[in-house]
Amino acid sequence: MHNLSKKNIIIGNAVTRAAQGFNLAEKRIIFAGIAKLDGKSTEVILTAEEYAKTFNLSLDLAYKQLKDNVENLRKRYISYQIVDEKETIAKAAINWLQGYFYHNKEGYVSFRFSEYIFPYLFELQSHFTKYKLQQACALRSIHSWRLLELFEQQKQINKDGYRWLKISIDDFNHAMEAPESYQKNFKNLRVKIIEPAIKELSEKDNWIIEWKAIKNGRKVVILEFTFSHHPENFL
């Protein structure tokens, strides 16, 4: 039985910024699969025991999450668009999986990633996001995990030893797949997504985070985060 938490997650920056389409259990399954691959394109075999140990779950809950969620993964896809001078010049929707099997009596799932997702997961030489799966294992919010990925995409450090993320509100909403009601009311976005995600990352993965909303008139248009991570304090 293997604990995958020490493995690296490496994904293309386009995936980091894209809408990924997952609930928390689905993201755990897919990203445990990415961790098992170690950058090589092959079939993933993920056992309930591995899944339980990696995410600190009971074996019964691990079985249930694998069984309840793996079928939906065949329908999940990343989506993003390329904008040049405020004009959309390309849109993309890419399925994560080519196919899957759930082996009920044996207690494991097997799946292969789709051909179109290959360039974003395998043999990446530049423009990628890298972090330890361990950083996300204790998280109980998909938004916390997504914010972690947006942070880990940023590599430059300022003179005070902090990194920073400056992202348009539209791009942030897209990455977080924020409901329309949150997009229309910034208070909802702040209270339901931003503040809980920051709180969980601070408490469970030792991030130091400051942020502010930048307005154009009365409308928030940019979010700016300044942050530092201290993995040596990870418990």
pLDDT tens for 38-50 read 777 889 999 999 9
* Sequence-ordered alpha helix ranges (H) in the chain: 13-17, 24-37, 48-55, 59-73, 118-121, 134-137, 142-152, 169-176, 180-184, 186-189, 195-205
List pLDDT tens digits, range 65-121: 999 999 899 899 999 877 676 666 678 899 999 999 998 788 899 999 999 998 999
List pLDDT tens digits, range 109-140: 999 999 999 899 987 888 999 999 999 999 99
pLDDT at 3: 84
Q: How many residues does the chain have?
A: 235
CATH topology of domain 139-233: Arc Repressor Mutant, subunit A (1.10.10)
Tokens 């940023």 sit on residue: 154
Quote the tokens at residue 109.
């799932």
Paired with 108 in beta bridges are: 47, 103
Same-fold call for 8-121 versus 139-233: yes
Domain residues of the chain, as ranges? 8-121, 139-233
Give Cα 212 distance to the centre of its chain: 22
CATH topology of domain 8-121: Arc Repressor Mutant, subunit A (1.10.10)
Q: Is 167 exposed, middle or buried (0-12, 13-18, 19+ CB in 10 A)?
A: middle
